[in-house]
């Protein structure tokens, strides 16, 4: 990444850790948008988010109100002095946002997964005068698939278009989990954004606990976890009446709830010694619930393998496969700094249980 500059130069967000971006999933009406913005601004939040064009899974879902929301966002900018950012997915969106004079854009997870779409956005940005490009902050969410190179490629395309105020947003990765009871809407796979930070230390990486967790009660523990890992800011969905929101109702917080959560996170950033036993235990509870879900998924797959083996007359235990699995897992454990002996025991137990289910 070349010639990076601060994402919001006149805010000095480097000094403001975590930098907070908050606002509704979608700008649904002028009134709700302003209401959210005024409460957040009063609480000291300086960057406002709101979706204008919403990528929906199924046709017929609420797709955002479109360009008519841009004047509402301008009004937020004017009346609160906040910086205002929104999602773009096409060259038309980029042109409309630049015409409106908003402060920044982000590329959503579905768009970031498509290099053709990202390149079209990059080409549109490249066609702007350098002053317009320097006037715009651009953030790139991770693609839905857990593919670090695809994410980096999208960031490079935007940077290659002459965008210097560049940032990344981690919003979790899609996984196939219908009915699994997995705690998160999208898997955090922390190793991926952390590797991004390691490779591009000057790139600010934000965390989006709303789309990662998918539930409002997960916003606080996930945010805390992320800030301990070195994320530079948070982008959080906040709506004056979350339960009535037209999109992502389950994960949105009221402005009051958000400000309540944000206050100790802000303090926590410069005094990690305030970390309490309770907070760490909550982290352990979340991690254990992830572990349990993974074990359940593994056992389900193992059961299906058992059925296949039965049909094709194969024996349940195949010593060479078992030996390879143990070697592989202990080697991987060693490279993560885990004790190979410990991991050998864990997998011996898991294997024993798998054999039992298959029998």
Binding site for Mn ion (CB under 5 A): 25, 248
Any contact of residue 224 with ligand PEP (CB under 6 A)? Answer: no
What residues contact residue 348 under an 8 Å CB cut-off, 6+ apart? 326
Determine contact, residues 206/235, Cβ cutoff 8 Å: yes
Contact string (CB under 6 A) for ligand PEP, positions 83-112, x = contact: ----x--------------------xx---
Query: Residue 355 and residue 359: Cα distance in Å, rounded?
Result: 6
- Give which of Mn ion, ligand PEP, none residue 133 binds (C-beta under 5 to 8 Å, depending on kind): none
Any contact of residue 23 with ligand PEP (CB under 6 A)? Answer: no
Contact string (CB under 6 A) for ligand PEP, positions 132-151, x = contact: ---------x----------
Q: Which two tokens stand for residue 248?
A: 């992502």
Q: Which is nearer to ligand PEP, 162 or 209 (CB)?
A: 209
Query: Residue 333 and residue 113: Cα distance in Å, rounded?
Result: 30
Q: Which is nearer to ligand PEP, 162 or 188 (CB)?
A: 188
Which SS3 state, helix, strand or coil, does residue 349 take?
Answer: helix
Q: Which is nearer to ligand PEP, 157 or 211 (CB)?
A: 211
Contact string (CB under 6 A) for ligand PEP, positions 179-218, x = contact: --------------------------------x-------
Query: Residue 85 and residue 83: Cα distance in Å, rounded?
Result: 7
Q: Which is nearer to ligand PEP, 192 or 338 (CB)?
A: 192
Q: Which residues of 77-109 are buried (b: 16+ CB within 10 A; e: fewer)?
A: beebebbbbbbbbebebbebbbebebbbbbbbb
For ligand PEP, the binding residues (CB under 6 A) are: 25, 51, 55, 87, 108-109, 141, 171, 211
């Amino acid at each position: 990444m070349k010639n990076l500059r601060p994402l919001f130069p006149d805010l000095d967000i480097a000094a403001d850790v975590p930098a907070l971006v908050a606002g509704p999933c979608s700008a649904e009406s002028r009134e709700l948008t302003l209401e959210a913005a005024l409460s957040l601004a009063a609480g000291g939040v300086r960057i406002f988010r709101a979706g204008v064009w919403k990528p929906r899974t199924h046709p017929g879902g609420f797709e955002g109100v479109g360009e008519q929301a841009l004047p509402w966002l301008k009004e937020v900018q004017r009346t609160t002095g906040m910086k205002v950012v929104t999602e773009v997915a096409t060259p038309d969106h980029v042109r409309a946002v630049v015409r409106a004079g908003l402060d920044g854009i982000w590329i959503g997870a579905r768009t970031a997964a498509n290099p053709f779409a990202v390149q079209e956005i990059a080409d549109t940005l490249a066609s702007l005068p350098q002053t317009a490009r320097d006037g715009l902050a651009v953030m790139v969410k991770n693609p839905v698939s857990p593919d670090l190179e695809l994410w980096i490629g999208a960031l490079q395309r935007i940077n290659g278009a002459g965008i210097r105020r560049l940032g990344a947003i981690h919003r979790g990765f899609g996984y196939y989990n219908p009915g699994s009871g997995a705690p998160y809407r999208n898997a955090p796979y922390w190793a991926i954004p952390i590797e991004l930070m390691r490779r591009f230390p000057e790139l600010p990486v934000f965390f989006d606990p709303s789309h990662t967790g998918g539930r409002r009660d997960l916003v606080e523990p996930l945010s805390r976890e992320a800030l301990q890992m070195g994320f530079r800011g948070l982008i959080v969905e906040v709506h004056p009446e979350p339960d009535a929101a037209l999109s992502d109702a389950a994960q949105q917080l009221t402005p009051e709830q958000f400000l309540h959560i944000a206050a100790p996170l802000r303090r926590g950033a410069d005094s990690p010694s305030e970390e309490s036993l309770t907070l760490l235990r909550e982290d352990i509870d979340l991690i254990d619930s992830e572990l349990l879900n993974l074990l359940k998924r593994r056992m389900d797959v193992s059961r299906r393998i058992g059925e296949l083996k039965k049909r094709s007359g194969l024996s349940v235990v195949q010593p060479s496969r078992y030996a390879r699995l143990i070697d592989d897992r202990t080697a991987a454990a060693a490279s993560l700094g885990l004790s190979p002996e410990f991991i050998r025991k864990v997998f011996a137990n898991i294997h024993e249980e798998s054999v039992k289910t298959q029998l």
